[in-house]
Amino acid sequence: MHGLEATENRQRVGLFALVPSILRRFRLIPAEVLASAGLQPGDLDDPEGTIPYRNVAALAGFNFVCEILGTHQVIDLEVLLCRPEPRSLAPYHEAFGANLRFNAEQTAVVMPRTWLDKPVPGADPARRTALQGLVRSFWGVGDLDIVTQVRRAVRICLVRGHVSAPVVARELGLGGRTLQRRLNESGLGFQDVLDQTRCEYAKQMLANTRLGIAEIANIVGFKDHSILTRSFTRWVGVTPSGWRAHLPN
What CATH number did the domain enclosing 162 receive? 1.10.10.60
- The span from the CA of 13 to the CA of 129, in Å, is 24
Strand order in the sheet with 10-14: 10-14, 108-112, 78-80, 100-101
Taking each helix axis from N to C end, the angle separating 190-208 and 146-160, rounded to the nearest 10 degrees, works out to 60
> Is residue 129 in some structural domain?
no
Residue 207 contacts by C-beta under 8 Å, 6 or more apart in sequence? 244, 247
> Is residue 99 in some structural domain?
yes
Does the pLDDT at position 35 exceed 60? no
Smallest Cα–Cα separation from 14: which of 70, 41, 74, 54? 54
Domain count, the chain: 2
Does the pLDDT at position 78 exceed 60? yes
Smallest Cα–Cα separation from 2: which of 152, 168, 176, 209? 209
Instruction: State which of 65, 100, 118 marks the end of a domain.
Output: 118
Residues 75, 154 within the same domain? no
Residues 14, 72 within the same domain? yes
Alpha-helical regions (H) of 38-164: 53-69, 90-96, 125-138, 146-160
Residues 109, 177 within the same domain? no
**89-108 pLDDT, tens digit each:** 777 777 777 688 888 887 77
- The full DSSP string for 111-142 is EEGGGGGSPPTT--HHHHHHHHHHHHHHTTT-
**pLDDT recorded at residue 154:** 92
Residues 221, 179 within the same domain? yes
**180-238 pLDDT, tens digit each:** 999 999 999 999 999 999 999 999 889 888 899 999 999 999 999 999 999 999 999 99
Instruction: State which of 118, 137, 158 marks the end of a domain.
Output: 118
> Is residue 134 in some structural domain?
no
Enumerate the β-bridge partners of residue 111.
11
Does the pLDDT at position 142 exceed 60? no
Residues 180, 219 within the same domain? yes
Where in the sequence is the domain holding 58, given as residue range(s)?
10-118
Strands 100-101 and 108-112: unpaired
- The span from the CA of 112 to the CA of 65, in Å, is 13
Whole-angstrom CA distances from 76 to 34, 133, 214 are 22, 34, 30
Residues 31, 88 within the same domain? yes
